[in-house]
C-alpha cells in the first residue's frame, strides 16, 4: 500500500466526504485515488456511492443508516473519516490490480471531425500528424463523470492540447471523440458539449440494456486506432 500522505479530508455537504490528494492531473495522484477506491469497494464500509476523480475520492453515505454505529459525541463525518483512515492504514490492502488495455477504433475523417481542420491549423500541424499524435500513446481513464460513461482520459501530446470551445455545441453525437486542454474524451450519449471534436468511434461506450452499461472503468488504459469510413459503417456491435 503506497502511503496515503499527503491528503486532506473534508465534508462535501452533510452526506458525503472527499479525500483530496492534490489538485493536478497526475498519474501518481490518480493511482492513490484508484487504490483507495478499490480498497473501499470491498471493505464493507457503509457508503452509498464512491466517486474517484483526478486527484480525489468522494464517499457518499446515508447519515441515517449509520447512526446506530456512531460513537457518542461524533458526527457521521468524523466516524466515516476515521473508518476510512483505518482502512487505508491497514497493511494487508490488495495491490492495485493491473489495469485493462482497451482498444478503441476512431474514424478521423472530416464528416466526423468538425473541429479537426481548425485545430490542426491552430497548432500548425497536418491532419495526418493530428491523427498520428492522437493514436501514438495510450491514455489513462482518470475518472468518469459529466454523463453516464463519459471517461476523462489523458494526457494528450502538447501539440494537440487546446481549450474547450467558447460556445458549446447544442448537440454532440454519441461516439464523438474530443479534446479539452490535455484531456481527451468520448461522448457516450448525444449531449450538448464544448470539447473540440476530432473524430468518432463506432463503439458503444454506454448501453443501458447491457449488464455492464458502461464500457470503460476508472484506471483503464485506452489506445485509439484510426479506421476509415467504410470500417466505421461496417463495425459490428456499433452504433452505425
Partner 1 sequence: MSLRITRTGLLDTVQDGGRMGYQHLGIGPGGPMDRFSARLANALLGKPLDSPVIELHFPAATLLFEKPAIICLCGADFMPCINGEPVPMHHPIVVNSQAVLSFEKKLQGTRVYLALLAPLVLESWLGSYSTSIIAGTSGWLKKDDSLYWEEISLPAKCLQQKFTVLPWKTNDTVDWRNEVEFIMGSEWHWLSPAAKEQFQHGFFQLTKDSDRMGFRMAGQKLETGPEIETLVSSAVSFGTVQLLPDGQLIVLMADHQTTGGYPRIAHVISAHLPILAQKGPSDIVQFRMTSLEAAEQKLLKQQKYLEQLQIACKFRIENLLHEA
Strand 56-60 relative to strand 196-200, pairing: unpaired
Residue number, 108 or 150, with CB nearest to partner 1: 150
Q: Is the peptide bond before 220 cis (omega within 30 degrees of 0)?
A: no
Across the strands, what pairs with 105? 225
Q: Does 15 bind partner 1 (CB under 8 A)?
A: yes
Is residue 126 within 8 Å of 116, Cβ to Cβ? no
Q: Does 13 bind partner 1 (CB under 8 A)?
A: yes
Figure out which of the listed residues 28, 69, 75, 132 binds partner 1, where binding follows CB under 8 A: 75
Least separation, in Å, of the C-beta of 181 and partner 1? 10
Q: Does 189 bind partner 1 (CB under 8 A)?
A: yes
Q: Which grid coordinates belong to 140?
A: 489513462
DSSP assignment of 36-54, as one string?
A: HHHHHHTS----SEEEE-S
Q: Does 52 bind partner 1 (CB under 8 A)?
A: yes
Return the H-helix or E-strand segment holding 109: none
Q: Does 180 bind partner 1 (CB under 8 A)?
A: no
d(CA 210, CA 193): 25
Q: How far apart are the first and last CA of the chain?
A: 44
Residue number, 130 or 220, with CB nearest to partner 1: 220
Least separation, in Å, of the C-beta of 26 and partner 1? 9
Q: Does 141 bind partner 1 (CB under 8 A)?
A: no
Neighbour-count burial of 129, counting CB atoms closer than 10 A to its CB (0-12 exposed, 13-18 middle, 19+ buried): middle
Residue number, 187 or 232, with CB nearest to partner 1: 187
d(CA 145, CA 57): 13
Binding-site size, partner 1 (CB under 8 A): 47
Q: Does 149 bind partner 1 (CB under 8 A)?
A: yes
Residues numbered 151-170 forming contacts with partner 1, rule: CB under 8 A: 152
Figure out which of the listed residues 7, 37, 108, 162 binds partner 1, where binding follows CB under 8 A: 37
d(CA 34, CA 56): 9
**Other CB atoms within 10 A of residue 185 CB:** 24
Q: Does 96 bind partner 1 (CB under 8 A)?
A: no
Q: Does 53 bind partner 1 (CB under 8 A)?
A: yes
Question: Would you tell me which residues interact with partner 1 (CB under 8 A)?
Answer: 10-16, 18, 20, 23-25, 37, 48-56, 58, 60, 63-64, 67, 75-77, 143-150, 152, 188-189, 206, 208, 213-214, 217-218
Amino acid at each position: 500500500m503506497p502511503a496515503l500522505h499527503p491528503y486532506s479530508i473534508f465534508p462535501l455537504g452533510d452526506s458525503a466526504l472527499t479525500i483530496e490528494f492534490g489538485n493536478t492531473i497526475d498519474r501518481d495522484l490518480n493511482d492513490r485515488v484508484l487504490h483507495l477506491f478499490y480498497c473501499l469497494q470491498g471493505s464493507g464500509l457503509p457508503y452509498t456511492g464512491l466517486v474517484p476523480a483526478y486527484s480525489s475520492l468522494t464517499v457518499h453515505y446515508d447519515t441515517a443508516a449509520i447512526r446506530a454505529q456512531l460513537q457518542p459525541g461524533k458526527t457521521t463525518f468524523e466516524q466515516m473519516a476515521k473508518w476510512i483512515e483505518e482502512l487505508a492504514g491497514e497493511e494487508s490492502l490488495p495491490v492495485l490490480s493491473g489495469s485493462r488495455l482497451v482498444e478503441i477504433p476512431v474514424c478521423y475523417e472530416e464528416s466526423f471531425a468538425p473541429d479537426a481542420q481548425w485545430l490542426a491549423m491552430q497548432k500548425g500541424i497536418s491532419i495526418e500528424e493530428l491523427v498520428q499524435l492522437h493514436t501514438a500513446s495510450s491514455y489513462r481513464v482518470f475518472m468518469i463523470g459529466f454523463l453516464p460513461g463519459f471517461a476523462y482520459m489523458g494526457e494528450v501530446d502538447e501539440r494537440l492540447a487546446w481549450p474547450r470551445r467558447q460556445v458549446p455545441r447544442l448537440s454532440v453525437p454519441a461516439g464523438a471523440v474530443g479534446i479539452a486542454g490535455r484531456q481527451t474524451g468520448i461522448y457516450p450519449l448525444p449531449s450538448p458539449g464544448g470539447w473540440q471534436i476530432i473524430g468518432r468511434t463506432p463503439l458503444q461506450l454506454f448501453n443501458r440494456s447491457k449488464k455492464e452499461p458502461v464500457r470503460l472503468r476508472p484506471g483503464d488504459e485506452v489506445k485509439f486506432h484510426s479506421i476509415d469510413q467504410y470500417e466505421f459503417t461496417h463495425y459490428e456491435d456499433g452504433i452505425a
